[in-house]
Amino acid sequence: MNVPDNLRYAESHEWILIEGDTGTVGITDHAQAELTDIVFAEPPPVGKKVAAGDVAAVVESVKAASDIYSPVSGEVIGSNAAVEENPALLNTDPFGTGWIFKIRLSNPAEADTLKDPAAYRAQIGA
Amino acid sequence: MRTPLFDAHLAAGGRMVDFAGWEMPVQYSGILDEHKAVRESAGVFDISHMGEFFVSGPGSTAWLDSLLTNNVAALADGCAQYSLMLNERGGVIDDLIVYRLGLENFLLVVNASMIGEDAAWMKARLVEGIEFENASAGFSALAVQGPSTGGVFEKLFGREMPVERNRILEIGEDFVVTTGYTGEAGFEWIMPVQEAASAWRRSLDAGAKPCGLGARDTLRLEMCYPLNGSDLSPTRTPLEAGLGFFVDLNKPDFVGKAALVAQKAAGIPTRLCALRVTEKAPPIRPHYPVWIGGEPVTETTSGALSPSLGEGIALAYLPAGFSKPGQEVEIEVRGRRFRACVRKKPLYQKET
């Protein structure tokens, strides 16, 4: 299972790439493998304000709908229309073109509460 | 409970879930991939969890005719028919397949979740001379389905698959029947449990792809085949479910007949309708509210994203006056309503 070293992870299987005060969020390789064929994705609209742990997006496989939580608090500044058009990107490229939204962090210190790659690997038994 | 194929499912990458108390594979390679395999080539499903009853002895035909909706007397030797077992109110206890093995000799295949209840219901109504055996524990079954099933059949049995549907071949202790739950050509293969592992392996070797309950559900829903417990219930009649073709109101009395005759005379109040979403929407799932004219009127009984159509599909009991193809409805998903339309069944038709 791929767990890139440059990312932080939420226990609920989202990743975040933090660059200054902005973050890019998606779901992990482990999450997409568990969800299997993703057939629907609804990224949050730009401008939406979320607190860490709030539901920010929904993805659905053939079998079930899953909430995607924002790992940090802030305002959505980018929403990936490509995954709305082609939800399978979440399966095929979860850390790349399958990103879900970009967020401006209102409290960058929250990032320290997220798991580092080693801790996330331990969580998923990778 | 586990079928004899539990280890084989794990070996094939099966993801196991609980279904009616059984640990069954929901998928192996993926629901979309397995669905496509059945629509385009051949897939094999473990259906060992389903129940097998044997009924024999003089008077068996008449006895089954008193308990089931379809006409057992009219069923030819070596053929199978779909039928329903009703309660006194005309509600559905179970839907099942009746196989005539001889003049007064029948095999019934019933839903896994209903084995105990069906057997108790039938035993409580047993009459002198009829032998009823719940042989579910002794039998396993595979369903091989898809347009290339004929080739799989020939490799397995060294003969051509019957072209006609609902034909029974007795091969050794096995029953091989041209029936299925997918809308494709295929057969269901009922065998003693000790043969299951070898039959599974031989089916894979003959070119069938392992398919799980997930694809089984999307395949049957595209065909609008009802699932008992979801689309059929003790409070809905087969007339409401659109299964009148499998109900013979002209035959002598059967349990539930009076209620159906009365319902038909009074007007059938609701109809199980096929719905197809007409705008971009999340996948539809069971128990989503269905709205007509700004009012919530019912909920979906089944729902899925149709892998063949690429759109949301569902079944729902609509008031009879709003049940005609073309009727516009809305389906509520997480507080938002999406447009959908009543369509003629089945929702999926093979391009030929």
What are the pLDDT digits (tens) for A37-76?
999 999 999 999 999 999 999 999 988 899 999 999 999 9
Tens digits of residue pLDDT in B7-18: 999 999 999 999
Given CB atoms, is B16 within the 8 Å cutoff of chain A? no
- Summarize the confidence of residues B89-111 as an average pLDDT: 97
Q: Is B334 on the interface with A (CB under 8 A)?
A: yes
Separation CA A8–CA A109 (nearest Å) = 13
A36, A37, A60: residue with CB nearest B282: A60
What is the model's pLDDT at position B178? 96
Q: pLDDT tens digits for B231-280?
A: 999 999 999 999 999 999 999 999 999 999 999 999 999 999 999 999 99
pLDDT of residue B350: 80
Residue B315: the pLDDT is 98
- Tell whether B283 lies on the interface with A, counting CB pairs under 8 A: yes
B102 pLDDT more than 70: yes
Mean pLDDT calculated for residue range B343-350: 94
Predicted local distance difference test score (pLDDT) of residue A62:
87
- The pLDDT, as a whole number, for residue B211 is 98
Average pLDDT for residues B207-235, to the nearest whole number?
97
Instruction: Output the pLDDT for position A68.
Output: 97
Of B155, B141, B148, B143, give the one whose Cα is nearest residue B37. B148
Which residue is associated with the tokens 């890019």? A24
* pLDDT at residue A99, as a whole number: 98
Report pLDDT digits (tens) over B129-173.
999 999 999 999 999 999 999 999 999 999 999 999 999 999 999
Partners of B214 on chain A (C-beta within 8 Å) are 62-63
- The pLDDT value recorded for residue B298 is 98
B24 at interface of A, judged by CB pairs closer than 8 A: no
Query: Which residues from A are below 8 Å from B15, CB to CB?
Result: 36
pLDDT value at position A126? Answer: 80
Per CB distance under 8 Å, which residues of A are interface residues toward B?
36-37, 39-40, 42, 58, 60-63, 65
Searching chain B, which residue's CA lies closest to the CA of residue A65? B283
Torsion of CA B164, B168, B169, B173, to 10 degrees: 160
Classify strands B209-210 and B43-46 as parallel, antiparallel or unpaired.
Answer: parallel
Domains defined for chain B, CATH in brackets: 6-48+137-222 (3.30.1360.120), 269-352 (2.40.30.110)
- Is residue B351 over pLDDT 80? no
Complete DSSP assignment for B268-323: --EEEEEEEE-SS-PPP-TT-EEEETTEEEEEEEEEEEETTTTEEEEEEEEEGGG-
CATH class of A8-109: mainly beta
- A to B CB pairs, distance under 8 Å: 37
Q: Is the pLDDT of residue B352 over 60?
A: no
User: Please, how many CA atoms are within 13 Å of residue B67, restricted to the half-sphere of its CB?
Assistant: 23
ipTM confidence score? 0.83
Residue A63: the pLDDT is 83
Give mean pLDDT, residues B30-57. Answer: 97
- Going from N- to C-terminal start, the domains of chain A cover 8-109
pTM for this model (two decimals) = 0.92
Q: Do B283 and A40 touch (CB under 8 A)?
A: yes
CA B177 to chain centre: 14
- Where is pLDDT greater, at A1 or A39? A39
For B35, the enclosing helix (H) or strand (E) is helix B31-40
